[in-house]
Amino acid sequence: MEIIKKQGYILLGFDGQDLGWDAPSIWCFMDLISNRVLATYKFDKLDYKLLRHTIEKIREFYDVKIIGRVSDKQTLITKCHDTFYPEIPHQYC
């Protein structure tokens, strides 16, 4: 936490693994500058609104600005970005 606070910002990388069936998905959120895992979450159901809520919880916990985002192009990720974070640069990989 001290590394992120001292850094003063997060370049947020995140991805989820959905196993299908009735299994929950596991998501990992990391800072790509410090190469630190910020949080992991298990979701039974995830939509773009809950993704935003999760990102905001991470941002509030570390109390720093998110300067950019990197992720794959899952529909819920693009909808979350376009709806709530259009001003934050987002690189799809």
Taking CA atoms, 86 is separated from 37, 40, 44, in Å, by 24, 24, 27
Q: Structure pTM? A: 0.91
**Burial tier of 51 (Cβ tally within 10 Å: 0-12, 13-18, 19+):** buried
Average pLDDT on 1-5 reads 91
2-92: CATH topology: Nucleotidyltransferase; domain 5 (3.30.420)
Angle CA 50–84–7, to nearest 5: 90
Q: What's the pLDDT score for residue 11?
A: 98
Tell me the domain boundaries of the chain: 2-92
pLDDT tens-digit map of 18-64: 777 788 999 999 999 999 999 999 999 999 999 999 999 999 999 99
